Structure formats: structure tokens, C-alpha cells
Structure 1
Amino acid sequence: MEIKTVSQCTLEEILKAWNKGFEGYFVRIEMNEEVFLKRLVGEGLSPELSIVAFDHNNPVGIVLNGFRRMNGKKTSWNGGTGISPDYRGKGVSRALMEETIAIYERENVEVATLEAIKENKVAIALYEKYGYTITNQLLFLSGEYEVNVEQQAAIHVETIRPEQLPHLSFYQEEVPWQCSWQSNKQGEAKIFYNENNEAIGYMLYRTVWNQAGEIDSIVLYQLELLENGTVEQIPHFIASITNHKVKLATVNFSASNPATSYLMKNGLEVKTEQVQMKKNMA
């Protein structure tokens, strides 16, 4: 078996490794050229530090890796480990993980992160073998949401660019990779203040518009209540985007986030559950 970097492979080889690697997976994540390239750039994945395993000339496994500074520490993200069905259980995943950890060490990574589907016990056990531990339970929610705001609250809304979030003293930078502002530079962000001009919460999200120029759906990446915020204010947060019934979805929301409980009580259902895992490289 030979391991090459993604930058050394053709796009056809990379897509074959990915699509075969996730064949029969818990969630369908097949990608074409356009989707793959958009993801590579949007999520800050590194072609030079992501790897593909070959059996002769046949791509049989892949690991995509991204690197950022989060909370002042160099952090890596395993953005997907896939093994072709015929090669599962034959040592390919171990070889890829060992090479991945070696890359992290060479790159002076301090914290290694990834997410795994909660039901994928085999993958979770593999990651635990290489020093990862489960640190959070994450949920993808979706459903129809209707804003129910009986009376207007004294909430001031400030709309900002996602890139401005890390400069706020109350911003919580340690979030799942795909929920970070770096992965959502094309999104939108809002900060909410009470009548005393105290920050009570913020959102990072993306709106999807239909052909009639109306909001079709909202994807939430972050919805955080701060010390002075309450769950009762969440409807006002969402109403700052639209007052109409709308399709709403969350990406990797922490199960312990009060906003998650609120949304589940108000029409959203769990579509996928993941565990967040981390490895202290120090």
C-alpha cells in the first residue's frame, strides 16, 4: 500500500477515494468535483497535508485534514476518514491514522479534533485507540419553525460580518470546525443587546432564498446565549431574520446548549447525532 498527499493525486482519484470510502455510510456524503472543491476551500482543508491510500493504482482510503489556530492553539480537524468497502478491516484505517498523527506532530499541532457519527462504534473505537476522547454530543436538527413573538422585546440587534466575531470579548471560539466563522465567511452574524446595552447573545447563520426572493430556509451554525440572555429571547433572535414560518436547520449544535432544547421543543427534530472527539497532542 502507498500513501500520497491529495496534492499528488488527480481529482478523479480523490473523488473515487472519497465516494468509495463513504459507500454504505450512515449519512450519504457523496461529492462531485464542484462540491469537493468548494468544501476544500470553504472549510480550510489542506491538499498538501491530506492523504489518500492506494493499493497499486487503486485509491482505497482517504483522510482530509484542516489546520487553524483556535483559542490560541494550533488545531487540526479530521474532515473525513473513508475506507473503500473491500478494504475495511484490513489495516488501511490504521495506516491512515498513523500517517495522520505523524503529520500532526510534524506540523506542531496542539489539539487534534474530529466528529464521528454516534452510531459508528467502529470508527469511535479506532479514534480512541489513537488517543482521542469524546468531549461533546452534537446534534443536527431540522424542521419547520414558526416565530411566536407576542410582544416586541427591548432588544437591539447589530448585524456584523462573521470575520468580526473573534474580536468580540464574549465570543466563544471553541466550536466544532464546520460551525466556526472561518468555515462560514459567506454567512451572516448578529449580536443582540438588552435595554442596558449588555450583550445577551449572538448568531452565526446562512439564509437560503427561493426564486421569488423570499427566505426559504435558515441554517444555524451558532446560537449562543450569554450571561445576561434567556431562552425566552431566542424567538426574538430568529425574528430578526424573518417573521414567517421557515425551514430551520442546525449544524453540530451541542446537546447541552439551551438553544438546542428550545428548538427541539418548537418543531425541530434530531436528524443526525455526532460525538466530538479531541486529542491533546502536547
Structure 2
Amino acid sequence: MKVKTVEQCTLEEVLKAWNKGFEGYFVDIHMTAEMFLHRLAGEGLSPKHSIVIFDQDEPIAVVMNGFRIINGKKTAWNGGTGISPAYRGKGVSRLLMEETLAIYKREHVEIATLEAIKENQVAIALYEKYGYEVASSLLFLSGEYGANVEPTAAIHVATIRPEQLAYLSFYQEDVPWQCGWQSVKQGEAKVFYNDNNEALGYMLYKTVWNDSGEMERILLYQLVILAESHIDLIPQFLASVTTHKVQITTVNFLASNPATSYLLKNGLKVTTEQVQMTRRF
């Protein structure tokens, strides 16, 4: 078996490694070339530091990696580890992990992160073997929600670009990779203030519209209240996007987030559970 970086491979080879690698996975993440390239760029994945394993000329496994500075520390994200079904349980996962951790050490990574489906105990055990620990529980929620309130003048809404969140002192950088502003540059952000110009919370999200020009879905990446006593303001936050009933989907919300509890009490259901795992160097 031989190891190549993604930048040394053709797009067809990488795509084959990805799609074969995730056959029979817990969720469907089969990708077209366009989807793969969009994800590569949108989530800051590095072709130079991601790897594909070949058996002869056949691409059989892949690991996609990205790097960011988060809270002042160089942080790596494993954005997907897949192995073709015929090669599972044959030592390929060990080769993938050793090559990946070697890349992280060469790049002076301080913290490595990844997410794993909660039911995927085989993968979780593998990552634990290589020094990762479960740091938090993450939830995808989905369901119909109507704010059922009118926006109030007591809450001032500032609509900003996602990139501008990074300059706010209360912005929380340490979130799952796909929920950081860097991964949601094509999205929208709002910050909420009271009459004294004190920050109450913020949202990072995308809106999906149908062919009739109607809002079809809100994808929530962050919904943060800066004090737990502000939980009753969440309907006002959401009403700033729409007061109509709409499908809401959350992406990797912390189970411990008060907003998660609120949404669960107001009609949303858990669709996928993940664990966030970290390894320190």
C-alpha cells in the first residue's frame, strides 16, 4: 500500500476514495465532484495535508484535514476518515491514523479535533487508542418552528457578516469546526443588544429558499445567549429572521447549550447524535 496526498491525486481518485470509504456509513455523505470541491474550499480542508491510501492503483481510504488558529492555538480538524468496505479491519485505519498524526506533529498542531457518530463505537475506540478523548456531545435537531412573537424595540438587532463575528469580544471561537464563521462565510449573522447596548447573544445561520421565493429552512450553526437568564429571548432572536413557521435544522449544537434545550422543548427532534473528540499534543 502507498500513501499520497490529495494534491498528488486526481479528483476522480479522491472522490472514489471518499465515496467508497463511506459506503454503508451511518448517514449518507456520498458526494459529487461539485459537492466535494465546495466542501474542500468552504471548510478550509488542505489538499497538501490530506491523504489517500492506494492498493496498487486503487484508492481505498482517505483522511481529509484542515488547520485553523482557534483561541490562539493551532488546531487540526479531521474532516472525514473513510475506508472501502473490503479493506476494513485489515490495518488500514492504523496506517491512516499514524500518517495523520505524523502530519499534525510536522505542522506543530496543538489540538486535534474530530466528530464521530455516537453509535460508531468502533471508530470512537480507534480514536481513543490514538489519544483522543470525548470532549462533548453534539446534536443535529430538525423540526418546524414558529417564533409566534413580533420583534420588540427593546432588542436591537445588528446584521453583520459572519467574518465580523471574529472581532467581537464575546464570540465563542471554540465550537465544532463546521459551526465556526470560517465555514459559514456564505451565511448570515445577527447580534442582539439591549437598550444599554449590552450584548445579549448572537446567531450564525443560513436561510434556504424555495422556487417560489419563500423561506424553506433555517440552518442554525450557532445560537448563543450570553446569560442563561436570557433564554426567554430566543423567540425574539429567531423572529428577527422570520415570524412564520419554518423548518429549522441545527448543525452540531452542543447538548449543553441552553438553546438546544429550548428548541427540543419547542418541537424540534434529535436526528443525529455525535461526539466531539480532541487530542492535545
Aligned to 1:132: 132
Aligned to 1:160: 160
Are positions 1:179 and 2:156 aligned together? no
> How far apart, in 2, do the equivalents of 1:218 and 1:138 lie?
18
> How far apart, in 2, do the equivalents of 1:227 and 1:238 lie?
17
> How far apart, in 2, do the equivalents of 1:153 and 1:142 lie?
29
Are positions 1:17 and 2:17 aligned together? yes
Aligned to 2:35: 35
CA 22–68 in structure 1, closer or farther in 2 if over 3 Å, else same: same
> How far apart, in 1, do the equivalents of 2:238 and 2:183 lie?
21
Residue 148 of structure 1 and its aligned partner are, at CA, apart by: 2.1
Aligned to 1:120: 120
Residue 228 of structure 1 and its aligned partner are, at CA, apart by: 7.4
Aligned to 2:52: 52
Kindly indicate whether the alpha-carbon contact (under 8 Å) linking 1:198 and 1:228 is maintained by their aligned counterparts in 2.
no
Say which SS state the counterpart of residue 230 (structure 1) adopts: helix
1:8 partner amino acid: Q
Per-residue displacement from partner, 1:185-232 (whole Å, max 9, x unpaired)? 110000001122210100000001112222111000000000375111
Aligned to 1:255: 255
1:158 partner amino acid: A
Aligned to 1:149: 149
Q: CA RMSD in A?
A: 1.1
User: Could you list the runs of 5+ residues in structure 2 that have no partner in the other structure?
Assistant: none
Kindly indicate whether the alpha-carbon contact (under 8 Å) linking 1:191 and 1:202 is maintained by their aligned counterparts in 2.
yes
> How far apart, in 1, do the equivalents of 2:154 and 2:252 lie?
30
> How far apart, in 2, do the equivalents of 1:96 and 1:50 lie?
10
Say which SS state the counterpart of residue 40 (structure 2) adopts: helix
1:178 partner amino acid: Q
> How far apart, in 1, do the equivalents of 2:98 and 2:82 lie?
15
2:135 partner amino acid: T
Per-residue displacement from partner, 1:142-199 (whole Å, max 9, x unpaired)? 1111112278361110000000101001111100000000001110000001122210
User: Could you list the runs of 5+ residues in structure 1 that have no partner in the other structure?
Assistant: none
2:206 partner amino acid: R
TM-score by length of 2: 0.98
Mapping for residues 230-249 of structure 1, pairs under 5 Å? 230-249=230-249
Residue 263 of structure 1 and its aligned partner are, at CA, apart by: 0.5
How many residues align structurally? Answer: 281
Identity between Structure 1 and Structure 2 (%)? 72
Per-residue displacement from partner, 1:105-159 (whole Å, max 9, x unpaired)? 0000010000000000000000001100000000000111111227836111000
Aligned to 1:80: 80
TM-score by length of 1: 0.98
> How far apart, in 1, do the equivalents of 2:87 and 2:211 lie?
45
> How far apart, in 1, do the equivalents of 2:227 and 2:18 lie?
42
Are positions 1:95 and 2:99 aligned together? no
2:131 partner amino acid: G
